[in-house]
Amino acid sequence: MTGADYLAFYDTFDPHVSTLGARAFEWMASCPGKTYGRTSHPIWYGFGVRQRDRGQGLEIWHTGSWSRRLLPEAAGPRNATIS
């Protein structure tokens, strides 16, 4: 995923943009019944992102990992084109 694609993904969660629609955003941004873990501020998961509100607005993030195995002949420098 390019940086631009990543930012476009997060723009989906902008409450001032109607990508999700008001009803979907309202469900995503509400935590009742979706919390997990023990933290000082509730954390919940919805629509592929973790969320919390520590009193300064909704925080949205995602963690995870991506791993793959390369064949021995694939070892070496990687090239990327940035456009």
Full-prediction pTM beyond 0.85? no
What total of structural domains would you count in the chain? Answer: 1
Rounded Cα distance, 66 and 55, in Å: 32
Decide if 81 is inside a domain.
no
Above 70 in pLDDT, residue 72?
no
Rounded Cα distance, 22 and 27, in Å: 9
pLDDT digits (tens, 9 = 90+) for 30-64: 888 888 888 888 999 888 888 998 888 888 887 76
Beta bridge mates, 62: none
Exposure class string for 35-57: b at 16+ Cβ within 10 A, else e: eeeeeeebbbebeebebbeeeee
Rounded Cα distance, 68 and 65, in Å: 10
Decide if 80 is inside a domain.
no
Decide if 9 is inside a domain.
yes
Above 70 in pLDDT, residue 65?
no
